[in-house]
Amino acid sequence: MKILITGVAGFIGSHLAEYYLRAGNEVYGVDNFDDFYPLAVKLKNIEPLKANSNFHFFEIDITEYSQFSKLEDRSFDLIVHLAAKAGVRPSIEAPQKYLRTNVTGTLNILEYMRATKCNKLVFASSSSVYGNCKTIPFAESTLTDEPISPYAFSKKSCELLNYNYHHLYNLDILNLRFFTVYGPRQRPDLAIHKFMKKIMNGEPIEMYGDGLSARDYTFIDDTINGIVKAGTYVLNNNGVYDTINLGNSSPVQLSNLISAIEKVTNKKAEVVVKGMQEGDVDITYADISKAKEVIGYDPQTKLEAGLKKFYDWYVMNNAVTA
């Protein structure tokens, strides 16, 4: 199969490319090395991919439609669109940039699909679309009309835009709402990575709120498994437009996360308590019954086991992430 992955130099994209290459596919990867985190980290993410002759990399900024001409019409069987400006808090500082990359960028992917008659798309949405939803666990049927950050707004907008292209041009699309993904190569801005780095360096960590906020941390291998299953589903079915949670359905309170990191690193954290951050939600908690039913998603990794894998990777790769 010929698969296009956008955001391939990122955390999730590089893992997904690795998976599809191992399975013998031809993978085309797009990224613009956005400066959200260091270029060195992204170059290291794609270094092993480049050694595979079935991997083809294109430096393309998805907000510039003219740059898609570099890809030509390659008759892709499937597109997995992961490229985005990620992160809730920074989106409040730079809403225009977030909307341009996430919404205009997605529109350009859809236009490229229309132009090249590729009609199978898996899209990376986010648990943030649920905002401060009071009904837990979060089910896909819940109304998601109250985003509390520009990032959440951008992802919800993309889901709607995807519906529009499904309706107008018969594109088969699955929106996947990821829930705080972690594991080797995790984005350096995310809590597990930040905490591990600071605890390992003997620096204090900042805990926002009273430690009772909770996240449905999902290990990268489980997320990749879900994306691949979603890809197979859109490839094998016609008339598809749907939205599915890819979480772990097992939220962990922030104070418990810190204790678990202390345990795996065998170091005590110095915790500085700060107020809750604007845009942050109290809890994320995925109802994954639909994901199980529709694509056979079945996450396996317990927090302790996933943290241990992240720790082992962190120790081996400390130099580039520091």
Site string for ligand NAD, 254-283 (x = CB under 6 A): ------------------------------
With CB under 6 A as the contact rule, the residue among 13, 137, 183, 251 that binds ligand NAD is: 13
Please state the closest distance from residue 194 (CB atom) to ligand NAD, in A: 13
Residues in region 131-190 near ligand NAD by CB under 6 A: 178, 180-181, 187
Q: Token pair of 37, please?
A: 């985190």
C-alpha span between 300 and 219 (Å, rounded): 9
Q: Which is nearer to ligand NAD, 25 or 91 (CB)?
A: 91
With CB under 6 A as the contact rule, the residue among 2, 19, 33, 114 that binds ligand NAD is: 33
Site string for ligand NAD, 49-88 (x = CB under 6 A): ------------xxx------------------xxxxx--
Distance of CA 213 to the CA centre of its chain: 20
If binding is defined by CB under 6 A, does position 32 make contact with ligand NAD? yes
In the bound state, the residue with its beta carbon closest to ligand NAD is: 10
> Which residues are marked as active site?
151
With CB under 6 A as the contact rule, the residue among 105, 231, 279, 306 that binds ligand NAD is: 105
Q: Which is nearer to ligand NAD, 26 or 34 (CB)?
A: 34
- Which residues of this protein are in contact with ligand NAD, per CB under 6 A? 7, 9-13, 30-34, 36, 42, 61-63, 82-86, 101, 105, 124, 126, 178, 180-181, 187
